[in-house]
Amino acid sequence: MKRLLIKIALFIFTILMLACLGLGIYSQDLLITAIGILLIFCIILLSLEYKKMLSNPFD
């Protein structure tokens, strides 16, 4: 159940990140681009958490 939720969150954050970066670059708005960059860090942290969950043999 946790793995499915993390996969869904990763998918949603990826879509939001692409939208924020695209819109931020298109409209030349630094705030929206910064939100996209923060979403990149969120995706990296969630993927590391997912990798940790996959390598846990006791779960």
pLDDT(59) > 80 = no
37-53: average pLDDT: 94
Mean pLDDT of the chain, nearest integer? 92
User: Number of C-alpha atoms within 13 angstroms, CB side, residue 3?
Assistant: 7
* 28: alpha, beta or left? (left if phi > 0; alpha if psi -120 to 50): left
Neighbour-count burial of 45, counting CB atoms closer than 10 A to its CB (0-12 exposed, 13-18 middle, 19+ buried) = exposed
Res 8: pLDDT: 94
pTM of the model: 0.83
